[in-house]
């Protein structure tokens, strides 16, 4: 299969990722601020996530969940690459305004 000439744009991919839940917290990975970057091109989709802690025990599960969601949303044959950035620290400032309010941050 050849890569698609019209891959989904970043907004469409972010909407897909909005539905992916953190396996421990049960909230959207987008609202939690775990999506560091999304890149989409005819050559493929690349997403970088950051963990909420340096020892995140569910990182592999999150990578699998994101990869599966993106593969369902992307044209057949478009490569999907999801990586975890262990060097970028997470903080409550990354939360969406609604989660900040709900969590009291």
How far apart CA 52 and CA 50 sit, in angstroms, is 7
Fold of the domain spanning 10-90: GMP Synthetase; Chain A, domain 3 (3.30.300)
Q: What's the CA gap between 80 and 47, in Å, rounded?
A: 8
pTM value surpassing 0.95? no
Q: What is the pLDDT of residue 76?
A: 81
Supply 32's token pair.
């939690």
Q: Is the pLDDT of residue 4 over 60?
A: no
* Percentages (nearest 5) of helix, strand, coil residues in the chain: 30, 20, 50
Which pLDDT does position 105 carry in this prediction?
Answer: 82
* Res. 77 pLDDT band, cuts 50 70 90: confident
- pLDDT of the residue at 17: 97
Cβ neighbours around 73 below 10 Å, total: 17
- Give the whole-number percent of the chain exceeding pLDDT 90: 75
% of the chain residues with pLDDT over 70: 95
CB 23 within 8 A of CB 61: yes
In three-state form (DSSP H/G/I as H, E/B as E, the rest C), the secondary structure along 35-66 is EEEEEEECCEEEEEECCCCCCCCCHHHHHHHH
Domains in the chain: boundaries: 10-90
């Amino acid at each position: 299969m050849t890569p698609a000439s019209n891959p989904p744009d970043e907004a469409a991919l972010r909407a897909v990722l909005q539905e992916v839940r953190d396996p421990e917290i049960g909230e959207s990975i987008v609202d939690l601020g775990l999506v560091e970057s999304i890149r989409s091109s005819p050559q493929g989709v690349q997403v970088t996530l950051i963990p909420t802690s340096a020892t995140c025990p569910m990182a592999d599960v999150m990578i699998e969940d994101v990869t599966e969601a993106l593969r369902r949303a992307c044209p057949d044959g478009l490569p999907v690459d999801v990586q975890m950035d262990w060097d970028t620290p997470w903080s409550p400032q990354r939360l969406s305004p609604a989660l900040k309010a709900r969590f009291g941050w």
